[in-house]
Amino acid sequence: MFVGCLFAMLIATLPRVALIFAWLFSARWSQVWTNWFWPLMGFLFAPYTTIMYMLTWTSVSGIHGWDWMWVGMGVMLDAMKWAQIIVQRKEVPGYPAYAP
């Protein structure tokens, strides 16, 4: 049981750790993001989308063509994560919608 919880925590924190490393060690960060607001919102609410956007963005043309497929995959991963959080919350004893 402990290994499963550790694995779940690792999956939940890994994209945010990757964004922190990209911010600290990548020269690409300052090219992609011109301000601090969107990366912060991405870090808090949509880390997979933020990672995909940063990886597919080019300085010549931004994002075009099939690159949007990767950004869309990031959106889907973030939406699945938030949907799973909502479903799991209803299973917590004491939550108003809890029904054993």
Q: Scan for tokens 């922190």, then name that residue.
A: 20
Tens digits of pLDDT across the chain (100 residues): 677 778 878 877 899 999 999 999 988 888 998 899 999 999 999 999 999 999 999 988 889 999 999 999 999 999 999 998 888 887 777 777 666 6
Exposed e or buried b per residue across 59-79, where buried means at least 16 C-beta atoms within 10 angstroms of its C-beta: eeeeeeeebeebbeebbebbe
